[in-house]
């Protein structure tokens, strides 16, 4: 796997560098509530600026579907970008045409400019050649630092790399290197933890993982579907009974590939989905008919942690329980802390991704201790599913 990085960009003073970043950050009442994605792309922006390039940021925000939607303007993200970078970044009210051209013409070497939401144009999501050419007209070089948007074959994530010399930014590079360690050519044994709400959203993921990992821990709501497929009565737990055959198929594939499937042995059950709801620990074969399993139980946590101790590589997507509400966060927190401790001891390569997973690791206070935590949601999942990522593939094709 090879791609060009910023190391290959030396003599770039005065060059216009179009940098695709992911500024699709959470916003409440017009304010950015989590700047992680901005912080992740800051090193690339700083490095290019220090090398004297004119740094022109391309990004999307929300899904305006080719219309100009004021609430989805990137101008509202600008103050947070200024804060993270500790400098003033310019803004152009359109990513192509006169507004972009005029703002770029006024840039000095090392300046940083943010262009308005690329998705205000229909050509972005269609990867339309005319729109891509209009974007390319503003740059000499293309840098993609938006791994989390790389599963989209859009003009600013894929198309531009065909028109301009293309490079991976520092975050893209770190992400690809970490993912390669995670599932590309990982140290064995490899253990995957997949949790979260539903099997239906992660069928491809589970099918791919059983072929690649030595053990697959299934937790969260999706474990119930597997337990039910096995004939266990899961009471009122979240369960997709219609996916029993899919779950069985995944277990058959796992047996063929000699991948151990680790399902809950016990669970924490409650009758209400709310914080501090009255709860009890039961064997999975004794889930009361009127209760739901909201977390895996202590015996299961012990088994999961034993697998983490055995693992050389861990890939994790999806919490083991309803971690947002205490005490159903206990299993996720325990496994996260154990994985973090093993990583710190140098015994484990731990790679995690997914919006809720990152929130869960932050909740456990260990996100910084993992080898790599991806800020990508859909892109991380598609990568784990073994699907090609257009924004990454095109970087590999660069001569
Ligand atoms: N046993 C359970 N019963 C019901 N809900 C559960 C259970 N276990 C986990 N969940 C819920 O699953 C949700 C997370 O699932 P999801 O599949 O979205 O995770 P993710 O893949 O990390 O996140 P994202 O989809 O943002 O990438 C959480 O809101 C959590 O409360
Ligand atoms: O938030 C994300 O996962 C990325 O920015 C991609 O956004 P999208 O799902 O709207 O393409």
**Which tens digit of pLDDT belongs to each residue from 303-351?**
999 999 999 999 999 999 999 999 999 999 999 999 999 999 999 999 9
**What confidence score (pLDDT) does residue 77 get?**
97
Top-ranked range on mean pLDDT: pick from 32-36, 219-223, 353-357: 219-223
- Centre of ligand 2 to C-alpha 291, Å, is 35
Q: Of all protein residues, whose CA lies closest to atom 14 belonging to ligand 1?
A: 196
Pocket mutation for ligand 2, best pick of 175, 359, 377, 379 (most atoms within 8 Å of C-beta): 377
Between β-strands 190-194 and 349-352, what pairing exists: parallel, antiparallel or unpaired? unpaired
Say what angle helices 244-256 and 203-212 make with each other, to 10 degrees. Answer: 10
pLDDT greater than 90 at residue 377: no
Overall average pLDDT of the 377-396 stretch = 92
Return binding residues for substrate: 22-24, 37, 60-63, 119, 152
Q: Which atom of ligand 2 is nearest to the CA of 152?
A: 11
CA distances from 296 to 224, 302, 312 (A): 10, 10, 23
Between β-strands 190-194 and 215-218, what pairing exists: parallel, antiparallel or unpaired? parallel
- Centre of ligand 2 to C-alpha 280, Å, is 38
pLDDT greater than 80 at residue 399: no
> If you search the block for the tokens 């262009």, which residue do you land on?
115
| Confidence bin at 384 (pLDDT 50/70/90) | confident
pTM for this model (two decimals): 0.89
CA proximity to 246, closest of 226, 218, 220: 226
Return binding residues for ATP: 202, 324, 354-357
pLDDT greater than 70 at residue 3: yes
Overall average pLDDT of the 7-11 stretch = 96
Q: Residues in the chain, how many?
A: 399
| Contact status, residue 151 vs residue 379, Cβ threshold 8 Å | yes
Q: How far from the centroid of its chain's Cα atoms is residue 244's Cα?
A: 28
CA distances from 10 to 13, 15, 47, 49, 96 (A): 8, 11, 11, 12, 27
CB of 390 within 6 A of ligand 2: the answer is: no
**Cα–Cα distance measured from residue 265 to residue 378, given in angstroms and rounded to the nearest whole number:** 30
CB of 353 within 6 A of ligand 2: the answer is: no
| Contact status, residue 224 vs residue 195, Cβ threshold 8 Å | no
**Which tens digit of pLDDT belongs to each residue from 85-124?**
999 999 999 999 999 999 999 999 999 999 999 999 999 9
Give the CB-side neighbour count of residue 258, counting CA atoms within 13 A.
1
**What confidence score (pLDDT) does residue 354 get?**
86
CA proximity to 362, closest of 325, 383, 388, 336: 336
pLDDT greater than 70 at residue 41: yes
Return binding residues: 22-24, 37, 60-63, 119, 152, 202, 324, 354-357
**What confidence score (pLDDT) does residue 1 get?**
63
Overall average pLDDT of the 214-229 stretch = 98
Token pair for residue 117?
Answer: 């939401």
Overall average pLDDT of the 222-248 stretch = 97
- Centre of ligand 1 to C-alpha 230, Å, is 22
Report the 10 Å Cβ neighbour count for 2.
7
Average pLDDT of the chain, as a whole number:
96
CB of 294 within 6 A of ligand 1: the answer is: yes
> What is the share, in percent, of the chain residues with pLDDT greater than 90?
90
- Centre of ligand 1 to C-alpha 195, Å, is 7
Overall average pLDDT of the 288-300 stretch = 98
């Amino acid at each position: 796997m090879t791609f060009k990085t910023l190391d290959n960009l030396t003599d770039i003073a005065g060059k216009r560098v179009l940098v695709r970043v992911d500024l699709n950050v959470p916003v409440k009442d017009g304010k950015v509530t989590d700047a992680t994605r901005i912080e992740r792309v800051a090193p690339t922006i700083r490095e290019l600026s220090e090398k004297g390039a004119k740094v022109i940021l391309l990004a999307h925000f929300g899904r305006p579907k080719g219309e100009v939607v004021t609430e989805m303007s990137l101008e509202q993200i600008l103050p947070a970008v200024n804060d993270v970078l500790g400098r003033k970044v310019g803004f152009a009210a359109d990513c192509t045409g006169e507004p972009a051209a005029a703002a770029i013409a006024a840039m000095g070497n090392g300046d940083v400019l943010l262009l308005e939401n690329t998705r205000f144009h229909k050509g972005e999501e269609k990867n339309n050649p005319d729109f891509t050419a209009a974007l390319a007209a503003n740059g000499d070089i293309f840098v993609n630092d938006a791994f989390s948007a790389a599963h989209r074959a859009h003009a600013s994530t894929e198309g531009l790399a065909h028109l301009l010399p293309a490079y991976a930014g520092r975050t893209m590079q770190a992400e690809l290197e970490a993912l390669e360690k995670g599932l590309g050519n990982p140290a064995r044994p490899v253990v995957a933890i997949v949790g979260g709400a539903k099997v239906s959203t992660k069928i491809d993921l589970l099918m791919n993982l059983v072929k690649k990992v030595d053990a697959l821990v299934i937790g969260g709501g999706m474990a119930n579907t597997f337990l039910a497929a096995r004939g266990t009565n899961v009471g009122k737990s979240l369960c997709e009974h219609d996916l029993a055959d899919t779950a069985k198929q995944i277990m058959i594939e796992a047996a063929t590939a000699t991948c151990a499937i680790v399902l809950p042995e016990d669970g924490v059950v409650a009758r209400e989905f709310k914080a501090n709801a009255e709860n009890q620990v039961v064997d999975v074969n004794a889930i009361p008919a009127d209760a739901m399993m909201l977390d895996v139980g202590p015996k299961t946590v012990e088994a999961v942690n034993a697998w983490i101790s055995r693992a050389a590589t861990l890939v994790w997507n999806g919490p083991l329980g309803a971690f947002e509400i205490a005490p159903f966060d206990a299993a996720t927190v325990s496994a996260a802390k154990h994985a973090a401790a093993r990583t710190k001891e140098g015994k484990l390569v731990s790679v995690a991704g997914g919006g809720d997973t990152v929130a869960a690791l932050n909740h456990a206070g260990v996100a910084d201790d993992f080898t790599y935590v991806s800020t990508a949601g859909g892109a991380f999942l598609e990568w784990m599913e073994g699907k090609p990522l257009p924004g990454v593939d095109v970087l590999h094709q660069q001569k």
